[in-house]
Structure 1
Amino acid sequence: MITHIIRKILAAIPILIVVSLILFFLMNILPGDAASGIANIDAGEEYINKLREEMGLNRPFLVRYADWVKSMLTGDFGKSLINGQPVREKIALRLPVTLEITFLAMVVSLLIALPAGIISAIRRNSPLDMAGSILSMIGVAMPPFWLGMLLILVFSVNLRWLPASGFVSFFESPLENLSRMIMPAFAIGAAFAATVMRQTRSALLEVLDQDYIVTAKAKGLKGSVIIWKHALRNSLIPVITVIAMQVGRMIGGVVVCETVFAMPGIGREIVDSILSRDYPVAMGLIMSVAIIVVFINTFIDVVYVIIDPRISHNSTAG
């Protein structure tokens, strides 16, 4: 098991290298560059070329990429071209907001998806199952940003129950923080709950048809014992896989919803930095998000092994 976990952790390194290379390449082929971004609109081409030379933008692509990676390994993500603020300070300031929204959205998603999926599987083809299927299809088709705007219209504009935008730190005022986080967390979580709910239902139905579940029923075990002790645990692997796949998409939803709810998170800062051609900030923030996503997926791979140790044996045998 330990060997399998170490292999999974080491496998994350080449993934991050590929992500960083693609990111650096894409940022370098965008129209304009850092020099033209900070130069005055009326600046001549000669002045811009001088800036490029001073900033090292005329050096070969791989040389600049290697320098960027070396700086990141030391914790230096560069500085903003707009105000000179170190990118790591922006990450430290805005990352907690994005992580809180993502965490709360995941909690909302699981609180909706797991009970709904279990009930749909147990009550197969019942009105509850059909209602769950209809709601899941609506959830899949509903973009998080649209649901977010709908929530603002209902709960902020019409009912005036919740603030429409802005952010207050949890440590400053826990109640005010949660009141501002409820709508973005629900807008993102509800949209992704549909996918997890359908996977939970399918995985649990497949397990409930297995011979050992039929045997457990024949022995007279209570239905709750069969579901919670035997069926649910063995159906968790595909469910966790779907949850892991949703993490990246969920963070993408956070990027959009931060703009809708005016949250000072990483997503909103990425959009602003790209629009202002502040590429060092954009690359640093995007790379920090990529590191988090890869870390979460690696962590879930480790959870697989804890839930079902047979995975490590099969991997070793393969």
Structure 2
Amino acid sequence: MSAIPLLVCDDSAMARKQLIRALPPEWSVAITQATNGREALEAIRQGLGQVVLLDLTMPVMDGYETLVALKEEGLACRVIVVSGDVQDEAIRRVLELGALAFLKKPADADQLRELLLSYGLMNRQAGRQVVERPDPSVSFRDAFREVVNISIGRAAALLAKVLNVFVRLPIPNVNILEVGELHMALADIQRGSRVTAVCQGFIGNGIAGEALLIFHDSEAKDMALLLRQEELGDHDPVEMQLDLASILIGACLSGFSEQLDVRFSQGHPMILGQHTPLESLIKINRDRWSKTLAVEVSYSLEGHRIHFDLLLLFTEDSVKRLTSKVNYLMD
């Protein structure tokens, strides 16, 4: 039996590695890899993607745009979406756009096998000969970014249910920053406006840090209106921001715990600065944030002029432990 052309499309080398490892070992496939939808379309046009495993959140052309283009061009392929964006609305949209099925990251090998069998993409009578697979090389930064990607997807799904909205997920930025570089990153987030920042510390298994959720004052009224529409009560603005911080930060840390086998103890969220320029926050916290592994995520709510900027700031001492945990995922 000739090998089936299989295309694995994801901007993360870590995600591609995990997905390729989850494939049934006896499934005879010729694997092509793509890092965005544009590359995927080129490969499919060349006949390299009879079956496609497609991510949603990617640069250049995301998964939604790719599904639209496949339909418009009439390209014949069978698509299973594999994504960290597990919002109910995300799943509904991809199925409406023509995907066969949705599988959450990290892909479970047994679930993937059953999907392939149920859609006739793999024969139940396939032989037991193990097929050689490519094994993408992965840097710590790429692997950790994929862990972050899955965690923020879990948080977005919870926020979507609480607020009855669709959350647009970004590609997270992951960098080790000196305090001056962190200053520049925060200044870019502020973009000239005043902000309120909620801070929550966390620690567990030799990993420690702080989560910083930043709200722009210019969006406070829209946020309050949304909360009233969802009948969550007439919250005091500070209480409202603390509640949202608990939802997002708690869900993100839960995602980390699930993937890295780490249990975090969390401090109480507190207002770090209110209606203030971010420069003053940096001056206050210069010693704590002298050098940090920084994760930057900017959530936005579709149909609303609202977004939150979430920063996860891991201490320099945590990087060694995180590296060990992430390397275990890759082995």
TM-score, normalised relative to structure 2: 0.24
- Structure showing the higher strand proportion among its residues: 2
Report the structure number with the largest CA radius of gyration.
1
- Structure showing the higher helix proportion among its residues: 1
